[in-house]
């Protein structure tokens, strides 16, 4: 079953919400745990335990685990394992982007069957959409997904992403178009997009796009789920908002975490 | 002492060469070691042992360690530790790029004093040069370096990198200009660039740039060190060619690895 089919089924069952697992200093404080790896583990596993049956996907943010070296990656492996057992899908936010056999190694790390194999990853196209090919190939072969950064939620991204390629297309739109072409060829819809939910207008035309659009920036960064229908009007893409801090700041209580998810889905 | 001062001293002493540590499948075969983590460790530590006194910097490629999960990162930590003891500087090739507290976590992971703290890292600007600020800040504060991808060695990168920003500048040039401005403000020259050595023309104007330009694509990708004087004519930047496979394919013999470096520096 393709990644996109699994995700669609999951969204149909529990609703369209991805919860980011970002164990950053403010979250560790909100959970009353130490600023250490044990605290990171409590947040990561606690979030999975509390919400695994209630969200379509988890999105662990690799940086907050990498910060602790190999011990942090071992905790991330535990988190990924628990999340994959929970029923929710796992989108690992790593924003990798490289070329050739290096990109292939990243693909094998995250889209293979190793200890860090997940359902999907985020990737960055500065080295060219086509440089991502080893990851797209492996995602399609292994029924996984890849989300390519198109238009990110932060204001600093505008100058490059809303710029134009050497051949004259808006850069974020080129990413959209190439992802769409790839999905048409494969039929697998393995290639999703990252399009931020914080701008007045998304700045790209998604009218043909059929796969999943991951929408970060909801909550702490100012975007709201209720605004997404308008922001993403006119596309049949599967819109998957991703919320991290707005939920994790509820703290270690499973009840309060589940209430935060209900509030987010209801709002 | 700033990163740039340390690097300059190192280059003055042993010459301008960075050796990439890319333990990919072909290299493991060339070394006669297994396609496993023990093989990766032999290549990584063997390269450092053989060449630590002979090269300005090592550039471990994170992907080939990440591929093995937390165990791979533990080997990368050993490699980084050994390399930092060897006298050569360590430029960890991670191409991270994110925003806000996430970028800050990446900076702390690699430019702090944790187990994976190195002399410099590579970063990717698709989310905006200014989004990299947490890494630039920490690099300057901790006397470390950051190499921002400007113009990469692969052909797929051209369409975006030689495109234009929303404000009309060539994108790779914007990266050059912003790195230069940052270095002028800090006086530390902590911000280097990645500019590939495989194109007929580098496509950017480096005439004002004073810090280090890391030049991958030498050797296996077709660039040559002898062509760099012409390719980078008219800049006072410190040009640091990076060679990986051309050297690592010499295999496990320290003598042959050292000969490969001599050959590279002499050619």
Q: Do A126 and B129 touch (CB under 8 A)?
A: no
Task: Work out the minimum CA distance from A53 to partner chain B, whole angstroms.
Answer: 27
Query: Which chain A residues have a beta carbon less than 8 Å from that of B61?
Result: 102, 105
Task: Work out the minimum CA distance from B20 to partner chain A, whole angstroms.
Answer: 12
Measured distance CA(B40)–CA(B60) in Å, rounded: 11
Which of A35, A98, A203 best probes binding to B when mutated, by most B CB atoms within 10 angstroms? A98
Q: Do B128 and A99 touch (CB under 8 A)?
A: no
| B101, B110, B160: residue with CB nearest A126 | B160
Over residues B45-56, the mean pLDDT reads 98
Which token pair is B46?
A: 């063997």
CB A136 within 8 A of CB A182: yes
Residue of B nearest to A175 (CA): B160
For residue A142, pLDDT beyond 90: yes
For residue A243, pLDDT beyond 60: yes
A212: nearest Cα among A113, A107, A267, A139: A139
Q: Is A11 exposed, middle or buried (0-12, 13-18, 19+ CB in 10 A)?
A: buried
CB A97 within 8 A of CB B194: no
Q: Do B128 and A101 touch (CB under 8 A)?
A: no
| B69, B101, B116: residue with CB nearest A114 | B69
- Kindly indicate the confidence band of residue A203, based on its pLDDT and cuts at 50, 70 and 90: very high
Give bridge partners of residue A215 from the DSSP assignment. Answer: A241
Over residues B210-229, the mean pLDDT reads 88
CB B252 within 8 A of CB B31: yes
What amino acid positions of A are annotated as catalytic residues?
A: 95
CB B148 within 8 A of CB B175: yes
For residue B267, pLDDT beyond 70: no
- pLDDT, one tens digit per residue, over B12-34 is 999 999 999 999 999 999 999 99
In order of B125, B128, B173, B197, the CA distances from B155 in angstroms are 18, 22, 17, 12
| Average pLDDT along chain A | 96
So what's the pLDDT on residue B226?
Answer: 86
- pLDDT, one tens digit per residue, over B155-191 is 999 999 999 999 999 999 999 999 999 999 999 999 9
CB B163 within 8 A of CB B136: no
Which token pair is A47?
A: 């979030």
Over residues A237-257, the mean pLDDT reads 96
Task: Work out the minimum CA distance from B24 to partner chain A, whole angstroms.
Answer: 8
Over residues A24-36, the mean pLDDT reads 97
- pLDDT, one tens digit per residue, over A157-188 is 999 999 999 999 999 999 999 999 999 999 99
Which token pair is B104?
A: 């800050």
- Kindly indicate the confidence band of residue B50, based on its pLDDT and cuts at 50, 70 and 90: very high
CB A251 within 8 A of CB A31: yes
Is B59 part of the annotated catalytic residue set? no
Measured distance CA(A37)–CA(A40) in Å, rounded: 5
Question: In chain B, pLDDT over 70 holds for what percent of residues?
Answer: 100
| B64, B69, B96: residue with CB nearest A105 | B64
Residue of B nearest to A101 (CA): B24
Which of B66, B136, B164 best probes binding to A when mutated, by most A CB atoms within 10 angstroms? B66
In order of A237, B59, B148, the CA distances from B125 in angstroms are 27, 19, 7
Q: Do A77 and B99 touch (CB under 8 A)?
A: no
Query: Which chain B residues have a beta carbon less than 8 Å from that of A125?
Result: 126, 160
How many other CB atoms are there within 10 angstroms of residue B181's CB atom? 13
So what's the pLDDT on residue A14?
Answer: 95
Q: Do B74 and A70 touch (CB under 8 A)?
A: yes
For residue B64, pLDDT beyond 90: yes
Least confident of A160-169, A248-257, B223-232: B223-232
So what's the pLDDT on residue A259?
Answer: 96
Q: Do B174 and A159 touch (CB under 8 A)?
A: yes
Task: Work out the minimum CA distance from B226 to partner chain A, whole angstroms.
Answer: 24
The position carrying tokens 């089924």 is: A9
So what's the pLDDT on residue A221?
Answer: 75
- Kindly indicate the confidence band of residue A99, based on its pLDDT and cuts at 50, 70 and 90: very high
Helices (H), chain A: 3-14, 25-30, 37-51, 63-66, 69-86, 100-111, 133-141, 158-161, 171-186, 228-231, 245-248, 254-266
What ipTM is given for this predicted complex?
0.97
So what's the pLDDT on residue B108?
Answer: 98
For residue B111, pLDDT beyond 90: yes
Q: Do A106 and B164 touch (CB under 8 A)?
A: no
CB B218 within 8 A of CB B246: yes
Question: In chain A, pLDDT over 90 holds for what percent of residues?
Answer: 93
Residue of B nearest to A71 (CA): B70
So what's the pLDDT on residue A163?
Answer: 98
For residue B36, pLDDT beyond 60: yes
The count of CB pairs under 8 A between chains A and B is 201
Task: Work out the minimum CA distance from B5 to partner chain A, whole angstroms.
Answer: 26
For residue A27, pLDDT beyond 60: yes
Over residues A193-217, the mean pLDDT reads 94
């Amino acid at each position: 079953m393709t990644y996109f089919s699994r995700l669609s089924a999951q969204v149909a069952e529990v609703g369209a919400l991805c919860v980011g697992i970002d164990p950053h200093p403010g979250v560790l404080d909100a959970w009353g745990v130490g600023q250490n790896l044990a605290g990171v583990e409590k947040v990561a596993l606690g979030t999975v335990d509390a919400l695994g049956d209630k969200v379509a996907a988890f999105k662990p943010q690799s940086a907050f685990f990498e910060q602790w070296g190999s011990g942090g990656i071992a905790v991330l492996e535990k988190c990924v394992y628990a999340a994959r057992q929970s029923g929710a899908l796992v989108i690992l936010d790593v924003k990798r982007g490289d070329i050739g056999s290096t990109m292939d190694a990243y693909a094998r790390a995250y889209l293979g069957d190793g200890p860090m194999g997940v359902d999907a990853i985020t990737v960055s196209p500065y080295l060219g959409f086509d440089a991502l090919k080893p990851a797209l190939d492996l995602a399609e072969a292994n029924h996984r997904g890849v989300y390519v950064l198109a238009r990110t939620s932060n204001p600093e991204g505008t100058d490059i992403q809303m710029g134009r390629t050497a051949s004259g297309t808006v850069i974020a739109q080129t990413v959209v178009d190439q992802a769409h072409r790839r999905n048409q060829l494969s039929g697998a819809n393995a290639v999703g997009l990252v399009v931020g939910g914080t701008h007045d207008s998304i700045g790209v035309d998604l009218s043909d796009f059929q796969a999943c659009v991951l929408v970060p920036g909801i909550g702490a960064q100012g975007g709201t789920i209720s605004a997404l229908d308008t922001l993403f009007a006119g596309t049949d893409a599967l819109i998957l908002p991703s919320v991290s801090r707005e939920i994790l700041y509820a703290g270690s209580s499973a009840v309060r975490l589940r209430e935060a998810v209900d509030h987010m889905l209801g709002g």
